[in-house]
Amino acid sequence: MIDLLITGVHGQLGRALEGLARRRGLSVEGHDLDTLDIRDNGAVAQLIGRLRPRVLVNCAAFTAVDACETDEATATAINGTAVGHLAAACNVAGALLVHLSTDYVFAGDGTRPYTETDPVAPASAYGRSKLAGERLARSADRHLIVRTAWLYGRGGANFVEAIRRQIDGGAASLRVVADQVGSPTFCDDLAGALLELIDAEARGVVHAANSGSTSWHGFAVEIVRRLGAEVEVHAVTTADFPRPARRPAYSVLDTSLMAAAIGHHLPPWQDALARYLEGPCAP
């Protein structure tokens, strides 16, 4: 038996969670597509049956939002159906299933932070596939579904690194969407919240994100400022950058339930960004 099994361990959140759990002395095993395809029900059952983890944290996902529009079947297989395989295996092993979900399960047309009990109405294939995963995660006898948003972390491509690359490439100005609002969330902080929620025996659906909110434009302005770059950031609209998948205009998550469970909110997104930028760049 081990303390923690992580699927999607090569992703930014999976990496952060594995590192933090090991530093805290937990026994951890991580798998990704190279060693476990969670769509393979037999392989999932065999691995979880052998390891008998106390907790399984599912960070695996098909997160290419636009690609989901043209291949919703694959998105649903990974983000939806496969979660049912994990839930069934967790029931046999007696494990807690912690499943990561997203702000995209909401319509994105709200005017106040979304609570865990607000109606879901995904407007994209990605959102629909993640909602399917939530529903199947509930088939685990012991489950915790954690919705989060606007993730960035070490070891992969993300919005912060995209802005940094443009600056390093000599861009004199940037055009960034200003009519989409959310809460940028640092994977290191979310990883800590996940372990605290597990320790607090939280169950059901919980929202977890760094405190505060901004637009992608506001996020970019703060990145540029903290990097000390002389780059002008121009605000544009979503319509100026048409994409296959519809993005939520407003997807701020209410994290009061998380704070009640673990005793605190996560740090402000500006503080999280400063700590990320003090560390090594993503490869």
Question: Would you please indicate which residues are annotated as catalytic (active-site) residues?
Answer: 126
The full 3-state SS of 211-263, as one line of letters, equals ECCEEHHHHHHHHHHHHCCCCEEEEECHHHCCCCCCCCCECCECCHHHHHHHC
Per the CB < 8 A criterion, the answer to whether 38 and 85 are in contact is yes
How many Å apart are CA 209 and CA 146, to the nearest integer?
10
3-class secondary structure, 29 = strand
What is the pairing mode between strands 4-7 and 28-31? parallel
Determine the length of the chain.
283
Per the CB < 8 A criterion, the answer to whether 7 and 95 are in contact is no
How many Å apart are CA 229 and CA 145, to the nearest integer?
39
How would you classify residue 97: left for phi > 0, otherwise alpha for psi between -120 and 50, otherwise beta?
A: beta
For 170-205, b/e burial (b = at least 16 CB within 10 A) is: eeeebebbbbbbbbbbbbbbbbbbbbbbbeeebeeb
Amino acid at 45: A
Tokens representing residue 171 in the block: 């861009």
